[in-house]
Amino acid sequence: MANRHTIILMQTSPNRATRTFMDFESVAQAMDGICALYERKLKELNPAIRNLSYDIADLYNFIDGLADMSALVYDSSIHAYLPHDRQWIKQKTLQHLRKLAH
């Protein structure tokens, strides 16, 4: 899954106008993008704190707190995007962060 184009679809609130997407060249870059999105939100909520830290449960709460989040990952064998739900995203972010820690 290393270099598979990935589109993250998300809706931040029940308002349909908050629907948006982010696209990345790989699943790993998409997971970095989700972490960066959460980190920006943390900085926005805590502007006075210079060194913010969080754990995987905090990240999961952020993902679960969104009205919707899913991923489309390109599969070259079928020339189509395969859909994945937020549970898959949470699993992939954990795997990605574990790789970065080692």
Q: Has residue 53 been placed in a domain? A: yes
Q: Has residue 97 been placed in a domain? A: yes
For residue 32, the Cα-to-chain-centroid distance in whole angstroms is: 7
Q: What is the domain extent for residue 50? A: 6-101
pLDDT tens digits for range 47-77: 888 888 899 999 999 999 999 999 999 999 9
**Count of structural domains, the chain:** 1
Give residue 2's pLDDT: 56
pLDDT above 90 covers what percent of the chain?
84
Q: Has residue 1 been placed in a domain? A: no
